């Protein structure tokens, strides 16, 4: 287990600088165009694949960094470039985490490469959990998976929403209910292979921010998939359901973590790192502007009203990064989140991103309100961090319940 440190080693610095260079040279110049087009930036994803950033090997190397800082470091730099394009590049990762967290070694080896494709033929993947009537309340999920024993197939029916890459993905990971009587303990995750009949894209959402990232509904109508596409396998599922039924009959007992919760817990510090990247980008624009913008014969940074805002912005960004790094290190070191440290990092970094980007717009004044300057886009993008993968309100609920010892559903 690596000791916690706030100093990146030489290899990490080299990787950070490499990613930062890609974000500065490739992502940023394309950001405004793809935000306006509201389309998946396939050429940028392909460029990321060609240099090795959009690949299974890259994310595996960062994921298995013994310090735990590989993923948050990469997320911060990519999202410093642009949140919408970066989410298009890393969105596949949530589906990949779902497979790694819940799948067998064979499923990991078979399906994750198909999520990314090749540099000449890039693919994306989608993780489908939320539904029109089941966002934060995963217990209200209605998508059903029924096992057809005669054919060793699962039949999926339902509608998913807010799915990044939904409908355009090569591989979809779908969370569905297999035993409605068990509530969230009766959920399981399934792999829907490419070109499976019955899966279609529903509404594509026109969003306030992160417009370069494709977000849509996924409709499942009698989608039949092989039994081998149940993440973790049926034997493991049957054992888990049996334990849940025993505990329910006994009136409660030990909590059982469902597949969607396991995926979100693993990814929350990474989302915090994304928020840090966007906040840092907006802060740097505001700082440069305040140094060069002259009013009343002096740079506006000479005014306390502006200087103190910048001081607070930088302090909050650094504090958010430290929370993200702590949670990321704890996860890789196998230390339990006894105080919901993962949710803490996501909560604080998300709120900081919204606040810092709003302050950046204010510092730039009228210019900050126009699309001639990137802080307007950054401010719109930052709004998503307090919403997706658990709203700020849900993060506070998770933290409070963890501190009190109450169960998290």
Environment class of 168 (CB within 10 Å of its CB; exposed 0-12, middle 13-18, buried 19+): middle
Nearest to 73 by CA among 12, 128, 27, 160: 12
Cβ-contact 15, 65 below 8 angstroms: no
Three-class secondary structure of residue 133 per DSSP: coil
With beta carbons less than 8 A apart as the criterion, state whether 254 and 247 touch. Answer: yes
Is 362 exposed, middle or buried (CB count within 10 Å of its CB: 0-12, 13-18, 19+)? middle
Annotation marks residue 389 as catalytic? yes
Residue 309 tokens, joined: 């805002």
DSSP string, 271-295: HHHHHHHHHHHHHHHHHHHHHH-EE
Place of tokens 């959402």: 205
Read off the tokens for 190: 């399934």
Cα atoms found within 13 Å of the Cα of residue 295, Cβ hemisphere only: 11
- Residue of 131, 341, 376, 389 marked active site: 389
Q: Say if CB 68 and CB 4 are below 8 A apart.
A: no
Positions marked catalytic: 389
């Amino acid at each position: 287990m690596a000791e916690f440190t706030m100093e990146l080693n030489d290899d990490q610095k080299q990787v950070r600088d490499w990613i930062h260079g890609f974000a500065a040279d490739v992502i940023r110049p394309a950001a405004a165009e793809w935000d306006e087009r509201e389309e998946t930036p396939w050429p940028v994803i392909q460029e990321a694949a060609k240099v090795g950033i959009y690949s299974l090997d890259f994310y595996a190397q960062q994921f298995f960094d013994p310090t735990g800082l590989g993923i948050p470091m990469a997320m911060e730099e990519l999202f410093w470039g642009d949140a919408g394009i970066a989410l298009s590049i890393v969105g596949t990762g949530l589906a990949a985490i779902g497979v790694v967290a819940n799948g067998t070694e064979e499923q990991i080896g078979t399906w994750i490469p198909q999520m990314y494709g090749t540099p000449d033929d890039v693919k994306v993947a989608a993780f489908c959990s939320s539904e029109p009537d089941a966002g934060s309340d995963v217990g209200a999920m209605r998508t059903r998976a029924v096992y057809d024993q005669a054919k060793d197939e699962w039949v999926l029916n339902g509608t998913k929403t807010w799915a990044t890459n939904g409908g355009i993905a090569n591989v979809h990971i779908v969370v569905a209910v297999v035993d409605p009587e068990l509530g969230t303990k009766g959920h399981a995750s399934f792999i829907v292979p490419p070109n499976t009949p019955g899966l279609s894209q529903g509404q594509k959402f026109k969003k306030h921010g992160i417009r370069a990232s494709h977000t849509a509904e996924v409709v499942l109508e009698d989608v039949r998939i092989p039994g081998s596409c149940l993440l973790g396998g049926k034997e493991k599922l049957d054992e888990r359901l049996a334990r849940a039924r025993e505990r329910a009959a006994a009136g409660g007992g030990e909590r059982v973590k469902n597949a969607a919760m396991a995926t979100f817990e693993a990814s929350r510090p990474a989302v915090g790192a994304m928020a840090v990247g966007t906040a840092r980008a907006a802060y740097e624009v505001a700082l440069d502007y305040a140094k060069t913008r002259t009013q009343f014969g002096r740079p506006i940074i000479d005014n306390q009203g502006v200087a103190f805002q910048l001081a607070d912005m930088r302090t909050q960004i650094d504090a958010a990064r430290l929370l993200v790094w702590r949670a990321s290190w704890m996860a890789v070191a196998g230390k339990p989140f006894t105080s919901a440290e993962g949710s803490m990092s996501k909560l604080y970094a998300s709120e900081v991103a919204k606040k810092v980007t709003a302050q950046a717009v204010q510092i730039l004044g009228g210019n900050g309100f126009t699309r001639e300057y990137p802080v307007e886009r950054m401010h719109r993008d930052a709004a998503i961090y307090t919403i997706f993968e658990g709203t700020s309100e849900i993060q506070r609920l998770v933290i409070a319940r963890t501190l009190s010892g109450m169960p998290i559903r």
